[in-house]
Amino acid sequence: MKQNSLREICEDADYGITLSDSTRLSTRLWKPIDALDDPVPVILEFLPYRKRDGTTARDALTHPYFAQRGYACARVDMRGNGDSHGLMEDEYTQQELDDAVEVIQHLAAQDWCNGSIGMMGISWGGFNSLQVAATTPPELKAIITLCSTVDRFADDIHYKGGCLLNENLGWGATMWSYSGRAPDPALRSDWREMWLDRLENEPFLPATWLRHQTRDEYWKHGSVCEDFSTIKAKVLAIGGWGDAYKNTVSNVVENIEGSKGIVGPWVHKYPHFAIPEPRIGFLQEALRWWDKWLKGIETGVETDPDLRLYQMDSVRPQTWYTERAGRWVAQTPERDHQHPAEIRTYFLGDDGLRDEPAKIDAKVTSPQDCGADSGEYCAIWLGPEMPGDQRRDDALSTIWDGNTLNGDLVITGAPQITLKLSSDKPVAQLAVRLNHIHPDGASTRITYGVINLCHRDGHEQSKPLPINQPINVTLNLDQCAYTVPAGHRVRVSISNAYWPLLWPSPEATRLQIHNGSINLPLLNEVAGSTVTFPPPEAADPWETTTIREDTNSRRQETDLNTGIVHLHIVDDFGKVRDGNHGLINGSTAREHWQIHPNDPLSAKGSCHWTDELERKNIRLRTEARCEMWSDKDTFYLSAKIEAFENDQLIYQRDLNDEILRNGT
């Protein structure tokens, strides 16, 4: 095998894979030109996000790099998306997984493939890499899953802790837009027919997701936590502390034999170009994984520490970071009962966080706009999306402060809070934040957790709360690795509203906290382990000509006449011309969220995506809009999609839906 020199590669922009039902999937395929003489493994990335004009920038940095080092890389558009035929019904359907297995079998059977397949992806591609691995296709030897989840209900963009995330509408709007776009007319002679077919049949997914407000069979499908033992492929799991999916890496390492995990400071991006820095040589690290499990080359990956984490130093609160100070550590996973982590326990008392149990009588009566500084659920678009200074939200919450620390508090893992509380309403939610308080009072959010109290006994059923009767609640906050320095303090902040992250309960509630405690796991570093990574490498970047620069804005305002609080978000992703094949594409996403501090039923969200596709004398555009509001018993949805060819309206569809609330 040729390992010491780079291999010359070729690219097929529209390699076709025809499935058993005659659906043709379009694939962008990179491979060494001599692969017929020296067959190679294949690395598959299987996505709905459009290889021609969607993931093109990151594909250019990543796939040619592997191909030059002796792999074929297949970036496949899923059915109903990009340049592939067929229609997509939902995320992570059985059809999607079956298609992926067929693709794997097709690729493994090619003369230029050695029969071994790896699967890789971030977010959707990270999800389905795990899900496809759980179906155990024998050709799939290893996967690398990034920024993904093992639990589709409680730890995705739909229902965190059983609470309805507003990202359910926001990301649904994104898919309403992505799957409604046309193929590239240069690749498909039937592009107009394909486009109109998609527009007519594309589902509005927020309505589907809202019909499953508990953890039923719909969500169990594709949740690999239902049976980790089904995954036989070797798994490398990667995440970021700035991402929404902070809990997956530890879940994978603790439950899937032979797996390894890396968590850096990053947002929802690949680590060789992610921020905040420091970035790492992800492609080199991935190559070690592929070389071992797809080629049988001894690279030492099996002896790497199970968990390599970036332990972040304290930081002033701000809505965006380009760099985070800290150090890489090897952390003993929780499954290692011989070396259990040390726990620091604080009790909630009338005068703050204390070392001894105490009874308290504290009320939580947050206004509905509490949470304005929560940031985006999933920081991804590189705007001001991170949680800012928490002092305003703390002022609208009930707080417990600890004493000034005599030494550094090195928190690593998932803090757990236990509360005895009562509610004056049958439906209520709870948001708990662990904050770092600086000497001048600035408040940095370390981590947080939320729970729908109707799901206190599990997410499979919704149980109304007994009115003014004490109940016990235990909540795990998201995993974190953060050092609070000596001379500073920690704070527990509790609210019963967290807008615009969560859709509010149907009535304003008053919670009574009777007692509680929080357990903080401390760093359980592997003695003698040194964690280092090479600097990032990448292939040549995507060559484009910029027609419109990208911009981001996030603006909060209060209407002093009505009292309604508004959040306006505009992400203009710019407009570019591909330097190779000339396709022009551009997109702009807009979101608007509003609520009155005194009225949960005033909540409303709206989204609007504009997408442009141009080639010579063809100009295509889609306008995808949606809205959501509710009363005490019902969610209301409306959506509209319009398609324009050369500025002439050629298609329009409107949807309206009503869905009963089920303890949400």
Give per-residue pLDDT as tens, 42-60. Answer: 999 999 999 999 999 999 9
Q: How many angstroms separate the CA atoms of 591 and 525, rounded?
A: 42
For 560-584, how does the pLDDT look when each residue is reduced to its tens digit (9 = 90+)? 999 999 999 999 999 999 999 999 9
- Count CB atoms within 10 A of the CB of residue 287: 19
Q: 226: which 2 tokens?
A: 């239902």
State CA 476 to chain mean position distance. Answer: 18
Q: Is pTM, for the whole model, over 0.95?
A: yes
Q: How many angstroms separate the CA atoms of 603 and 623, rounded?
A: 24
Q: 307: which 2 tokens?
A: 């968990």
Residue 337: is its pLDDT beyond 70? no
Q: What are phi and psi of 28, to 5 degrees?
A: -95, 120
State CA 404 to chain mean position distance. Answer: 35
Domains delineated in the chain: 9-152+221-331 (3.40.50.1820), 343-521 (2.60.120.260)
For 460-499, how does the pLDDT look when each residue is reduced to its tens digit (9 = 90+)? 999 999 999 999 999 999 999 999 999 999 999 999 999 9
Among all chains, which residue has been given the structure tokens 């024998």? 138
What are the residues facing 626 on neighbouring strands?
607, 639
Residue 279: is its pLDDT beyond 80? yes
Task: Name, in order, each residue with C-beta under 8 angstroms of 462's C-beta and a sequence gap of 6 or more.
Answer: 162, 213, 214, 452, 454, 455, 662, 663, 664
Residue 140: is its pLDDT beyond 70? yes
* Lowest mean per-residue pLDDT among 248-257, 339-348, 370-379, 474-483: 339-348
Write out the DSSP string of 544-574. EEEEE--EEEEEEEE-TTT--EEEEEEEEEE
- pLDDT value at residue 136: 97
Asked if residues 558 and 365 have their Cβ atoms less than 8 Å apart, the reply is no
Q: 263: which 2 tokens?
A: 């968590």
- pLDDT value at residue 4: 53
For 581-616, how does the pLDDT look when each residue is reduced to its tens digit (9 = 90+)? 999 999 999 999 999 999 999 999 999 999 999 999
State CA 327 to chain mean position distance. Answer: 24
Q: Per residue, what are the HEC states of 73-107?
A: EEEEECCCCCCCCCCCCCCCCHHHHHHHHHHHHHH
For 615-643, how does the pLDDT look when each residue is reduced to its tens digit (9 = 90+)? 999 999 999 999 999 999 999 999 999 99
Task: Name, in order, each residue with C-beta under 8 angstroms of 487's C-beta and a sequence gap of 6 or more.
Answer: 404, 405, 439
- pLDDT value at residue 383: 80
Q: How many angstroms separate the CA atoms of 250 and 329, rounded?
A: 14
pLDDT average, residue stretch 509-532? 94
- Across the chain, mean pLDDT equals 96
Letter string b/e over residues 475-491, b meaning 16 or more CB atoms within 10 A of that residue's CB: bbbbbbbbbbeeebbbb
* Lowest mean per-residue pLDDT among 259-268, 395-404, 493-502, 520-529: 520-529
Asked if residues 424 and 468 have their Cβ atoms less than 8 Å apart, the reply is yes
- Count CB atoms within 10 A of the CB of residue 335: 10
Residue 145: is its pLDDT beyond 90? yes
- pLDDT value at residue 336: 59
Question: DSSP label at 652?
Answer: E
- pLDDT value at residue 5: 86
- pLDDT value at residue 335: 62
For 417-456, how does the pLDDT look when each residue is reduced to its tens digit (9 = 90+)? 999 999 999 999 999 999 999 999 999 999 999 999 999 9
Q: Quick check: bond before 278 cis, omega within 30?
A: yes
- Torsion sign across C-alpha atoms 288, 292, 297, 302: positive
pLDDT average, residue stretch 352-357? 95
Q: How many angstroms separate the CA atoms of 43 and 52, rounded?
A: 18
Residue 2: is its pLDDT beyond 50? no
Closest CA to 132 of 222, 68, 209, 197: 222
Residue 512: is its pLDDT beyond 80? yes
Q: What percent of the chain has pLDDT over 90?
A: 95
Helices (H) and strands (E) in the chain, counts: 10, 32
* Lowest mean per-residue pLDDT among 159-163, 177-181, 420-424: 177-181
- pLDDT value at residue 1: 37
